[in-house]
Structure 1
Amino acid sequence: MIIINNFIEYKALEGKVIGVSDWHTIDQAQINRFAEATLDHQWIHTDKEKAEKEGPFKSTIAHGYLTLSLIPYLWKQIAEVRNVKMEINYGIENLKFGQAVPVDSEVRLQAAIKSVIDLRGTVKVVVEAKLLIKDYAKPAYVGDVIFLYHFI
């Protein structure tokens, strides 16, 4: 894990892949909990038998937004940003889903720092987030995650 204490240390990472998280298994229980929380019960996610018989992936798959919601959890395994009085998830740009995530897949986040800008005391960081799936060539998604930091 990398530790970032201030704007200068963040800026030094610009243009670099800074690491990957641990592997995380997305099981059916997690998919079902996400379906309950979001009211998205589409059969391709929650009906194992139908997905195996009729679905293009021959198993249930994780919701795309479930995989996105893992970013904060996985990001914290890559970087610890210290001396922050406030951190804001500002947005995601240029996001493309490239591969479905079948149930019981292991995923991990790869992060690269694209840009670090000081906006009069607010530090805007753009991180290229790539969700890798174990044993798959294509990532689940690639997108630019934007964080705003107010350092102490």
Structure 2
Amino acid sequence: MNEVWKKPPVSFDAYQAMVGKEIGVSSWHLVDQARINLYADVIEDHQFIHVDPERAKKETAYGTTVAHGFLTMSLLSIMSYEVMPVIEGTTMGVNYGFDRLRFMSPVRAGSRVRGRFTLLEATLRKPKELQSRTNVTVEIEGEPKPALVANWLGLIYFA
């Protein structure tokens, strides 16, 4: 089992106390050409800017291939598992969507990215359903601008 799943849970009150605070920063994750190619196969998007390094070098301003924006977004899952706490009594958490998701800079093949998480809101919608809003920024190692910024919505269910 992945170590990120073994974090000790926090109380509901402790989670509420995190609202407005940066929760943490994930480890760096490599976005290499192999990962980009696998993602291209999954979503059937083989545009040359993603999968043809030679052509991308010649025909784009990036100088190499770049990751799909949605690949960068999908890495939020592992990044959040590394950083975000699990609340005691949680039975499951689900994606509820995003507000203001923006792709700010391309992630060039071979780059490393990490997520920075700030809990903005944690509101009970029902007695056993919590809606969270987390601001997330995906940083690119060595780059001044992030790859993406978003407010990520989640629903957390309790027993």
TM-score (norm. length: structure 1): 0.95
1:116 paired residue among 91, 111, 122: 122
Structure 1 contact 4–10 (Cα < 8 Å) conserved = no
Deviations 1:46-69 (A, max 9, x none): 000000111110100000000001
Q: Give % identity.
A: 35
Gaps of 5+ in 2: none
- 2:151: which partner in 1? 144
Q: Which amino acid aligns with 2:45?
A: D
2:57 paired residue among 52, 55, 72: 52
2:104 paired residue among 93, 98, 120: 98
Shift of 1:4: 4.6
Shift of 1:7: 2.8
Shift of 1:134: 0.4
Structure 1 contact 7–118 (Cα < 8 Å) conserved = no
Gaps of 5+ in 1: none
Shift of 1:132: 0.4
CA RMSD of aligned residues (A): 1.4
The alignment of Structure 1 onto Structure 2 pairs a total of residues equal to: 152
- Distance in 2 (CA, whole Å) between partners of 1:79 and 1:34 is 25
Structure 1 contact 7–123 (Cα < 8 Å) conserved = no
Structure 1 or 2: more strand by fraction: 1
Where in structure 1 do 4 or more consecutive aligned residues deviate above 4 Å? 1-4
